[in-house]
Amino acid sequence: MIPALMPTFNRTDLAFERGEGAWLYTADGRRFLDFGAGIATSSLGHNNPHLVNAIAQQAARVMHVSNLYRIPQAEKLAERLVAASFADSVFFCNSGAEANEGMIKMIRRAQAKSGHPERVRIICFNGAFHGRTLATLAATGNAKYLDGFGPVVEGFDHVPLNNMNAVRAAITDETAGIMIEPVQGESGINLADPRFLRELRAACDEYGLFLGMDEVQCGMGRTGRLFAHEWSGVTPDVMTTAKGIAGGFPMGAILATEQVARHMTPGSHGTTFGGNPLACAAANAVLDVILAPGFLEQVQARGAMLGREFDTLVARYPDVFSAHRGVGLMIGLQCVAPVSAVQDAAMHEGMLSVTAGGNVLRLVPPLTVTEEDCRMAGEMLDRAARRVHADIAASAARAESVA
Ligand SMILES: Cc1ncc(COP(=O)(O)O)c(C=O)c1O
């Protein structure tokens, strides 16, 4: 019989009752170090007092009014995001996919309203993940996710990441823009080369295309800068973010330059819930923390500390790990052993993680993770790797005795 909760996820048999910082607790008293953070979303960890108070206070006043009225919390949040980024204007929505759907619309509309209605196609990258709506699935281009969902939305061309010749070859008279994750999350923490981003910017300027960046996962402080593209010095024309923006409260945002945003006139796009007072109160509280002096430097320092822990692991267990890569607190451990075995062993040691494509263990802890948490993560992963290594050695010995 089908479960009441639709079985679209392979769920681990764990249910958490409460959380504190980077730790989650089950009802039966077990605790887990949360290095998955709800898939890079619980940016301030669990039960952060500043975030909890902001949500509770706003909920007690007014949660939702619709976008038919002014929303001071949204105006404040938009002004803060504009002041802290390349953008001139912001649209709030409820998820990463919805933000990307809106970004695709904005790129097309900006072309159409500037005299190029034929420019509708968007160049995307192999290994991308942009969401599960029909257009964002087409932008993602992963056959597995498209299976059974009918005709693929037209207008997306895929080329290899970090290959400028392939990008230039894909540009046609119908190209409207380029859409890229500065750090690909789902496919295994693959970094867009800063030089490649600069070349994309130059090609967009040369051909009159809009550069769209998907910072749904890598944005909002995750890499140790407010937005990941800042590392390259390149600015997009339009960018999405979501996941960590409101610390676990569902929210997404599209940030755009005036050149793109000015075509989004009343009635051109909409949302019932997007940017409501409750979501914006949560996101303003998250921004208070992320933009506090020294916070992003601390994210970088924690990332560097984890990098040192992982250097040791890679050297000590070459049959389990071959490398690690990433920026700030968006880290991929390239596994040699099956990543599911590594993830299970880590969970056995009390540590939660997320897998990614390419046999990669994805570690995306809360941005507030402490030095002690990072040290414990290293120890737990060491014990997990030792366990996986022992299993590999045991099955090799079995195979040898059979032969
Ligand atoms: C880069 C990127 N874009 C878009 C999405 C989709 O976001 P959501 O699940 O909030 O729709 C994700 C989700 O993992 C993502 O990592």
Separation of alpha carbons 32 and 27, rounded Å: 12
The pLDDT assigned to 339 comes to 98
Probe target for ligand 1 pocket from 217, 223, 330, 355, with the most ligand atoms within 8 Å of CB: 217
Q: Residues with beta carbon inside 6 Å of ligand 1?
A: 39, 95-97, 100, 129-131, 181, 185-186, 214, 216-217, 242
Separation of alpha carbons 130 and 248, rounded Å: 19
Interval between CA 100 and ligand 1 midpoint (Å): 9
The pLDDT assigned to 400 comes to 85
What value does the mean pLDDT take over residues 70-92? 98
Interval between CA 392 and ligand 1 midpoint (Å): 34
- Give the position, in ligand 1's atom list, of the atom nearest the Cα of 133: 11
Residues 6 or more apart whose CB falls under 8 angstroms from that of 305 comprise 371, 374, 375
For 317, what's the count of Cα atoms within 13 Å in the CB-facing half-sphere?
26
The pLDDT assigned to 396 comes to 87
Closest CA to 305 of 224, 200, 248: 224
- Give the position, in ligand 1's atom list, of the atom nearest the Cα of 181: 1
pTM exceeding 0.95: yes
**pLDDT exceeding 70 applies to what percent of the chain?**
100
What's the chain's average pLDDT?
97
What residue has token string 């590392």?
231
Interval between CA 325 and ligand 1 midpoint (Å): 20
The pLDDT assigned to 197 comes to 98
The pLDDT assigned to 401 comes to 86
CA angle 102, 220, 186 (to 5 degrees): 70
Nearest CA, atom 8, ligand 1: 96
Q: At 403, is the pLDDT very low, low, confident or very high (cuts 50, 70, 90)? A: confident
The pLDDT assigned to 360 comes to 98
Q: Is the pLDDT of residue 402 over 90?
A: no
What value does the mean pLDDT take over residues 52-79? 98
Separation of alpha carbons 280 and 278, rounded Å: 5
Q: What digits encode the pLDDT tens for the residues 191-216? A: 999 999 999 999 999 999 999 999 99
Separation of alpha carbons 324 and 294, rounded Å: 25
Nearest CA, atom 16, ligand 1: 217
What value does the mean pLDDT take over residues 103-108? 98
What's the distance, Cα to Cα, between the start and end of the chain in Å? 44
CATH architecture of 50-290: 3-Layer(aba) Sandwich (3.40)
Probe target for ligand 1 pocket from 125, 180, 184, 216, with the most ligand atoms within 8 Å of CB: 216
Separation of alpha carbons 3 and 254, rounded Å: 35
Separation of alpha carbons 68 and 244, rounded Å: 26
The pLDDT assigned to 245 comes to 98
Query: Where, residue-wise, is CATH 3.40.640.10 in the chain?
Result: 50-290
Interval between CA 77 and ligand 1 midpoint (Å): 21
**pLDDT exceeding 90 applies to what percent of the chain?**
98
Query: Where, residue-wise, is CATH 3.90.1150.10 in the chain?
Result: 16-47+293-321+355-402
Probe target for ligand 1 pocket from 130, 241, 364, with the most ligand atoms within 8 Å of CB: 130
Interval between CA 35 and ligand 1 midpoint (Å): 18
Report the binding-site residues for N(2)-acetyl-L-ornithine. Answer: 132, 271
Report the binding-site residues. Answer: 96-97, 129, 132, 214-217, 271-272
Sign for the CA dihedral angle at 264, 84, 36, 364 comes to: positive
Q: What is the largest CA-CA distance in the chain?
A: 75
Q: At 84, is the pLDDT very low, low, confident or very high (cuts 50, 70, 90)? A: very high
Interval between CA 301 and ligand 1 midpoint (Å): 26
The pLDDT assigned to 385 comes to 98
Q: What digits encode the pLDDT tens for the residues 124-145? A: 999 999 999 999 999 999 999 9
Q: At 374, is the pLDDT very low, low, confident or very high (cuts 50, 70, 90)? A: very high
Nearest CA, atom 4, ligand 1: 130
Q: What digits encode the pLDDT tens for the residues 236-295? A: 999 999 999 999 999 999 999 999 999 999 999 999 999 999 999 999 999 999 999 999
Domain 16-47+293-321+355-402 has CATH 3.90.1150.10: yes
